[in-house]
Amino acid sequence: MSLATARDKGTLLLAFLTGLSINGTFSVLFSSYVPFSIFPVIALGLSAWCLHQRYLNRSMPDGLPSLAAAFFLLGILLYSAIVRAEYPDIGSNFVPTILMVIVVFWIGWRVKRRTASGR
């Protein structure tokens, strides 16, 4: 099974959105720099629920859970880098950006390896 299926892309997108929204929810609830908004909380609830339903109703091909975890981590790091760029008083966004580049290269390597093996 190829990574190019819509089901796999949807799972990866939901994992990415869950990572973004979990860090956004944490920031709006616990950071004094980020103004409160209910939308990250709503996005977290919906994306986590959809990801859970997808997990219950469909089987994941080999290698997809690790890619989904990488996309989740990518979402967390992306939101952290954006918030730190917008509010420099929080700290530098150097470490999240470097980690993001490492995760993107790892994802690219895994996808290339999956497509080369024909899964």
Give the span between the Cα atoms of 54 and 28, in whole angstroms.
27
pLDDT band at 119 (very low <50, low <70, confident <90, very high): low
- What is the CA angle 78-83-86, rounded to 5? 125
What does the pLDDT read at residue 95? 95
Asked if the structure places residue 54 within a domain, the reply is: yes
Would you state the pLDDT for residue 1? 44
Does residue 117 carry a pLDDT above 90? no
Query: Would you state the pLDDT for residue 3?
Result: 47
What is the extent of the structural domain holding 75? 6-117
Q: Which helix (H) or strand (E) holds 82?
A: helix 64-86
- Residue pointed to by tokens 């999956």: 114
Residue 76 lies in a domain: yes
Q: What is the pLDDT of residue 105?
A: 97
Helices 6-30 & 64-86, crossing angle to 10 degrees?
Answer: 40
Q: b/e per residue, 19-53, with b = 16+ CB within 10 A?
A: bbbbbbbbbbeeeeebeeeeebeebbeebeebbee
The pTM of this model reads: 0.89
- Is 1 domain-assigned? no
Q: What would the pLDDT profile of 70-105 be if each residue is shown by its tens digit?
A: 999 999 999 999 999 999 998 999 999 999 999 999
Q: State how many domains the chain has.
A: 1
For the segment 28-78, what is each residue's pLDDT rounded down to a tens digit? 999 999 999 999 999 999 999 999 999 899 888 888 899 999 999 999 999
According to DSSP H, which parts of 31-63 are helical?
39-57
